[in-house]
């Protein structure tokens, strides 16, 4: 049991730490409105302050305070629910614990920004030439990878439990 909890906590705090460190780097290195290509035509660094949810969803809404408080409450509730769900995983469900830890780390990373600054720092811009994806950060990527991992695990389990044809 202790090893499972430690495993969860290491991934949780590592993902949160990478997120916070990368955002600090972005705030110190990048300038708003200035695009720094990493891979021309596909990947740029571009500093943005996001008042919305992950991947800039809801950014710039007129009811910014309500959005800020609402997203903070949702993140806090999600962190509690994820902790409970992770504590109920069985020893053989390591991938599920990793997924929960990544989701929790991403949620905490963005919650820290929201509480400390009122906005979330985003800085990664992926695009295919002129087709732009929303600007995101390490926390958003952790959330996405965690959810994808949960979906893969659910799909694998449903195939494993399905009756043979």
Environment class of residue 58 by beta-carbon count within 10 Å: exposed (0-12), middle (13-18) or buried (19+)?
middle
Strands 131-132 and 43-50: unpaired
The secondary structure of the chain as a DSSP string is: -HHHHHHHHHHHHHHHHHHHHHHHHHHHH--TT-EEEEETTTEEEEEEEESSSGGGTTTT-S-HHHHHHHHHHHHHHHHHHHHHHHHT--TT-HHHHHHHHHHHHHHHHHHHHHHHHSSEEEEEEEEETTEEPPPB-HHHHHHHHHHHHHHHHHHHHHHHHSPP-
The residues that are catalytic are 122, 140
């Amino acid at each position: 049991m202790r090893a499972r909890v430690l495993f969860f906590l290491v991934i949780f705090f590592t993902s949160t730490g990478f997120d916070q460190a990368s955002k600090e780097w972005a705030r110190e290195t990048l300038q708003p409105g200035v695009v720094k290509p990493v891979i021309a035509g596909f990947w740029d660094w571009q500093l943005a302050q996001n008042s919305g949810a992950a991947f800039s969803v809801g950014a710039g809404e007129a009811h910014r305070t309500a959005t800020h408080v609402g997203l903070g409450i949702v993140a806090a509730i999600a962190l509690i629910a994820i902790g409970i769900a992770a504590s109920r995983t069985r020893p053989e469900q390591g991938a599920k614990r990793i997924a929960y830890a990544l989701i929790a780390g991403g949620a905490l990373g963005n919650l820290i920004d929201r509480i400390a600054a009122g906005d979330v720092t985003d800085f990664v811009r992926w695009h295919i030439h002129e087709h732009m994806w929303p600007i995101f950060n390490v926390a958003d990527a952790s959330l996405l990878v965690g959810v994808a991992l949960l979906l893969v695990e659910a799909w694998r389990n449903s195939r494993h439990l399905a009756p043979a044809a």
